[in-house]
Amino acid sequence: MNDLAILKINATGLKPLKLGDSSHLKLGQMTIAIGTPLGEFTNTVTNGIISGLGRGITAGSPFEGFVEKLDDVIQTNAAINPGNSGGPLLNSSGEVIGINTAIAQGGQNIGFAIPVNVIKTLISTFNKNGGSFERPYIGVRYKMVDQQTAVLNDLVQGAYVIQVIDGSPAQKAGIQDEDIITEVDGTKIQGTDDQELAKIIQDKKIGDKVTIKVWRNKEFKTFDITLTATQQ
């Protein structure tokens, strides 16, 4: 999830909004969206409720050549239109709980926002890294193997490694092409979500040491990996 940007504003006397805690959100909770819909109606305010939590969506248009997968976003029925992106989604206390980012085409009042806790983590990382959005990574390209596929092909569930990136933490630790990653720090990979491994790694920090269990040649092996920043 990286559909975010930080802008520097040369102004004084501005009062920032208070950031809330998106981990405590509940379905049906009141929401307020602020933005400039259609790029014309400045400071428009709409209200609604939280319609869904933990959604996974594909943002952008394949016809325009840009598609991005966003995970764990907030769904709201507060009216959000083109031009609202980047505006805050607030709770009834006026705290920011998300950043409006996308709408569902062909539907009505189906909008999505990136949870504010993601923003807080990115801002913290940005400040610590001197103005960079670096994230931890292990450096593998993979394809998920679910239970059914594993049974049919005499394999195990997990992330099947298609390619190990040169110079990556995975390569340095000894991970190889065709390994199947089955666990990260004791968390089992079920193989049901294409972003499952990425989500686990994104919850870690640069410099963290993780223990990765892989299945290779019909036996399990364990590797210790030190996470580094994503290669740009």
Q: Categorize the per-residue pLDDT at 129 as very low, low, confident or very high, splitting at 50, 70 and 90.
A: low
Residue 9 has pLDDT above 70, yes or no: yes
Residue after which a domain boundary falls, among 105, 128, 151: 128
What's the pTM value of the predicted model, to 2 decimals? 0.59
Asked whether residue 10 is assigned to any structural domain, the reply reads no
Interatomic CA distance for residues 22 and 25, integer angstroms: 5
Total domains in the chain come to: 2
Residue 164 has pLDDT above 80, yes or no: yes
Which helix (H) or strand (E) element contains residue 213? Answer: strand 209-216
Residue 172 has pLDDT above 50, yes or no: yes
Residue 218 has pLDDT above 60, yes or no: yes
Residue after which a domain boundary falls, among 95, 128, 161: 128
pLDDT attached to residue 31: 94
- Calculate what percentage of the chain has a pLDDT beyond 70: 88
Asked if residue 188 and residue 142 are part of one domain, the reply reads yes
Length of the chain measured in residues: 232
Let me know: does 199 contact 169? Beta carbons within 8 Å: no
pLDDT attached to residue 106: 67
3-state SS assignment for residue 225: strand
Exposed, middle or buried by CB within 10 Å (0-12, 13-18, 19+), for 88? buried
Interatomic CA distance for residues 126 and 14, integer angstroms: 21
Asked whether residue 222 is assigned to any structural domain, the reply reads yes
Residue after which a domain boundary falls, among 61, 94, 128: 128
Q: Which residues form the domain of 62? A: 22-128
Asked if residue 157 and residue 122 are part of one domain, the reply reads no
Lookup: tokens for 33: 């969206």
**Any idea what the CATH number is for the domain that residue 100 is in?**
2.40.10.10
Residue 124 has pLDDT above 60, yes or no: yes
Q: Give the pairing type, strands 187-188 and 66-76.
A: unpaired
Asked whether residue 13 is assigned to any structural domain, the reply reads no
Asked whether residue 181 is assigned to any structural domain, the reply reads yes
- Note the pLDDT tens digit of each residue in 174-211: 999 999 999 999 999 998 877 788 888 877 888 899 99
- Residue 122's φ and ψ, nearest 5 degrees, are -65, -40
Which helix (H) or strand (E) element contains residue 173? Answer: helix 169-173
Residue 63 has pLDDT above 90, yes or no: no
Interatomic CA distance for residues 190 and 105, integer angstroms: 31
Asked whether residue 36 is assigned to any structural domain, the reply reads yes
- Residue 186's φ and ψ, nearest 5 degrees, are 85, -10
Lookup: tokens for 157: 């569930």
